[in-house]
Amino acid sequence: MKAIVVGAGIAGLATAGDLARAGWDITVLERSDGPRTSGYMMDFFGPGYDAAENMGILPALLACAYPIEEATYLDSAGRVTGKLSFKRFADLVDGRLLSIMRPDLEAVLRQILPPSVRLAYGTALQGVENGPDGVRVAASDGSVVEADLLVGADGIHSAVREAVFGPEVRFIRYLGFHTAAYMFSDPGIAEQVGGRFALTDTKNRQLGLYGLRDNRVAAFLVHRDPSPILPVDRRAALQWEFAGAGWLAPRALARAPEDLYYDVVAQVHLDRWHSGRVVLVGDACQAVSLLAGQGASLAVAGARVLATHLAEASSIPEGCEAYQREWMPVVRDRQETGRRAARWFLPSSNAELVLRRVMLALSGLPVVNRAIGNSLAGKAVPIR
């Protein structure tokens, strides 16, 4: 059996590996020119952690993970106003949590791809013909490839979804925030941030910094915006949004590169994840948003669920249907968590700012800590 996977991100690499190990002939089309080197820090726990263990890649992930101890909120003068212990949260999930940069997770998934997998970088999807017995895929390099299955693993703005299921506007649910991320080198900032996730204690906007190895820093920004339309000049928009945030914000913003990551914070909702010989995985069909904190984890686990059902089913459509039946309820549950988080994620008044500080102080209490942990982790799901 032959499959074309569009997207060499987390979901695409995980799906390509799982299917190739099950004997599929795999070609991956990725529009970027090569593997991503920039990105953001991710908490990786839940079903993806279990899937990674089953795949045997947990030691490799742990080897490049960062030992983050706590999230620390700081005011504009750099004074600590609140703390949240990562260790306590990790304890709630039996220590089965790691913090990893997105390019590092992708690198580990790429390293375990069987040599038979063809990875075509700099090649975007251009067109799809979805027939009853197979797909024909046109790529930007002029080639037309036929396969038994097309997997859309091309992220929240999926071109496969657009071509086969309809326009993006029908499926994207905007949660009211824009987000940005980038990496830069600054020994001074890296030293001040140390081994914690340092965040501005601000209304309607938040800048977070992680100190990485080799004096690098990962910046993560999120701010409220009533409109899902993205600004043309993203760096200028961030300078404007974060003016007056104080502390290390001006220095970190001055380091923002032109090609920084910038997007809406949104979820993807579809009633069906497959049609004929096309199936969607990862953010293309199941984006939960960064507010749910499990998008990458669900991408890795969902890929495994798809591969398992395709191996067991008597036909491709039957395998895709079984995948959707098992995995969609899990995703719906995490999406609900993400939407709930959108209500308290960024304080919008002084009263809410004070309330967050009180909640952070209370998070030291086991009962409150357990409630936060359970709400973030969601129900346990068995992953084969």
Binding mask 65-104 for ligand FAD (x = CB under 6 A): -------------------------------------x--
Q: How far is the CB of 315 from ligand FAD (least distance, A)?
A: 25
Report helix angle 102-111 to 295-312, nearest 10: 20
Strands (E), 7-102: 25-30, 41-45, 70-74, 80-85, 97-101
Q: Which residues contact 17 (CB under 8 A, 6 or more apart)?
A: 55, 109, 112, 113, 114, 117
Q: Is 337 in the site for ligand FAD (CB under 6 A)?
A: no
Select from 246-254, 286-294, 361-369, 375-383 the region that touches ligand FAD (CB under 6 A).
286-294
Work out whether 331 is an interface residue with ligand FAD (CB under 6 A): no
- Which residue number, 198 or 284, has a Cβ lying nearer to ligand FAD? 284
Residue closer to ligand FAD by CB (options 10, 61) is 10
CA dist 363 and 343 (Å) reads 18
Query: Integer distance in angstroms from the first to the last C-alpha of the chain?
Result: 22
Closest approach of ligand FAD to the CB of residue 239, in Å: 19
Q: How far is the CB of 16 from ligand FAD (least distance, A)?
A: 11
CB of 10 to ligand FAD, least distance (A): 4
DSSP, res 177: E
| C-alpha span between 131 and 134 (Å, rounded) | 5
Per-residue mark of binding to ligand FAD, 111-150 (x: CB under 6 A): -------------xx-------------------------
Query: Is residue 24 within 8 Å of residue 272, measured between CB atoms?
Result: no
Dist. CA 217–CA 185, nearest whole Å? 6
Residue 202 binds ligand FAD (CB under 6 A): no
Answer yes or no whether residue 296 interacts with ligand FAD by CB under 6 A: yes
| CA-based nearest residue to 274, from 29, 3, 1 | 3
> Residue from 3, 4, 5, 11 that binds ligand FAD (CB under 6 A)?
11
Q: Among 137, 151, 291, 299, which residue sits at the site for ligand FAD (rule: CB under 6 A)?
A: 299
Kind and range of the H or E element at 250?
helix 249-254
> Which one among 17, 82, 208, 293 touches ligand FAD, defined by CB under 6 A?
293
DSSP code of residue 168 = G
- Please give the residues from 152 up to 191 whose contact with ligand FAD meets the rule CB under 6 A: 153-155, 159, 179, 181
Q: Element (H or E) spanning 111, and its range?
A: helix 102-111
Strands 125-130 and 135-139 turn out to be antiparallel
Does residue 31 bind ligand FAD (CB under 6 A)? yes
Binding site for ligand FAD (CB under 6 A): 6-12, 29-32, 40, 42-44, 102, 124-125, 153-155, 159, 179, 181, 220, 282-284, 290, 293-297, 299
